[in-house]
Amino acid sequence: MDTRELLKKVRQIEIKARRNSDHMLSGEYHSSFKGRGMTFSEVRLYQYGDDVRAIDWNVTARLNETYIKVFEEERELTLLLVVDVSGSTHFGTQGRYKRELAAEICASLAFSALANNDKVGVLLFADGPERYIPPRKGKKHLLHIIREILEYEPNTSSTSISKTLPFLLNILKKKAIIFMLSDFMDGDYLSTLKIALRKHEMIGVRLFDPTEETLPNLGMLQVYDPEKRDYVWMNTSRKGVRQSFQDSQRKYAQYFRDAFTKFGGGAIEIDIHQPYLKKLMQYFKQHA
């Protein structure tokens, strides 16, 4: 993708993301994710019905009238987008790759966070962490994130979630909202994910193309594996081969659901051929 095409794509995503945020996502995002806690705002005179536990005894003694402390929700949060940029994310039929949809979803979430004065950062990963942009505010920063998701070329094409999560835990010192977007064609990351879920609010977003989950009966077929960057021959006329392939895809999907929901995380599955906004709204409403 050349520079002009990239900028055009970023602009298209920005327009759609801002529309999604302004008209639908922003309010749901705000109600779904709470602040880190309560912070002191002011003192005011006690009124009938106020919680006596909120009385500020020092001010009350000094002014000889009963005052209470008023607290407000500490709203500012950190949103971290953890995005898979491995070889398999360059797959997609009907004119859209998984990577492009990931950029669009991230943009919608990022502009919703911006509307709530939250910081947004991104971690791109493949066979481990690849590119980290620390959380900041501002439209220019968000557009930079979108460009990176679209054009970044990883050093490796394979996927390792278990190698990525420890880096994430090291860079985030305070509780954050984390959306991890991937096709989750990986396993054996439950133990590291469990640790991350204790500290942060994590939502996994599995992006999949239905055409890659089954093999057609086409005889001997040369199939390109984007993770290994190599071609392999498969005898798709054999029922056992087709079934084995389908079982492996289902295994990845089920492992994803179990891993993210077992310890209190969120799990969203999005068919890249279908509108994604409904899935996000549904999750936010259930989570609020």
Q: Using one digit for the tens of pLDDT, what is the confidence trace for 237-249?
A: 788 777 777 778 8
Q: Per residue in 67-95, pLDDT tens?
A: 888 765 555 789 999 999 998 888 877 77
Among residues 17, 21, 29, 79, the alpha carbon closest in space to that of 287 is found at 29
pLDDT of 77 reads: 85
Question: Are 191 and 239 members of one domain?
Answer: yes
Q: Find all residues with CB under 8 Å of 284, minimum gap 6, and list them.
A: 25, 28, 29, 31, 32
pLDDT of 171 reads: 92
Structurally, the chain folds into a number of domains equal to: 2
Evaluate if residue 280 carries a pLDDT over 80.
yes
Q: Give the domain CATH number at 209.
A: 3.40.50.410
Question: Are 112 and 46 members of one domain?
Answer: no
Question: Are 150 and 191 members of one domain?
Answer: yes
Which residue is listed with tokens 């890249």? Answer: 272
* Pairing outcome for strands 37-45 and 67-74: antiparallel
| pLDDT tier for residue 10 given thresholds of 50, 70 and 90 | confident
Q: Which two tokens stand for residue 29?
A: 């995002």
Question: Are 83 and 173 members of one domain?
Answer: yes
- Looking at per-residue pLDDT, the higher value among 38 and 101 belongs to 101
**Of 74, 102, 125, at which residue does a domain stop?**
74
Evaluate if residue 216 carries a pLDDT over 80.
no
For residue 101, give its domain range.
3-33+76-287
Question: Are 55 and 193 members of one domain?
Answer: no
**Of 56, 74, 92, at which residue does a domain stop?**
74
Question: Are 108 and 41 members of one domain?
Answer: no
Q: Extract the runs of DSSP E, i.e. beta strands, from the chain.
A: 37-45, 67-74, 78-84, 119-126, 128-136, 177-182, 201-208, 220-225, 230-235, 266-271
| pLDDT tier for residue 257 given thresholds of 50, 70 and 90 | very high
Question: Are 107 and 214 members of one domain?
Answer: yes
Question: Are 48 and 143 members of one domain?
Answer: no
pLDDT of 116 reads: 83
Evaluate if residue 232 carries a pLDDT over 90.
no
Q: Per residue in 129-178, pLDDT tens?
A: 999 999 999 999 999 999 999 999 998 888 999 999 999 999 998 889 99
> What's the rounded Cα separation, in Å, for the pair 154 and 167?
16
Q: Per residue in 24-38, pLDDT tens?
A: 676 777 677 765 555
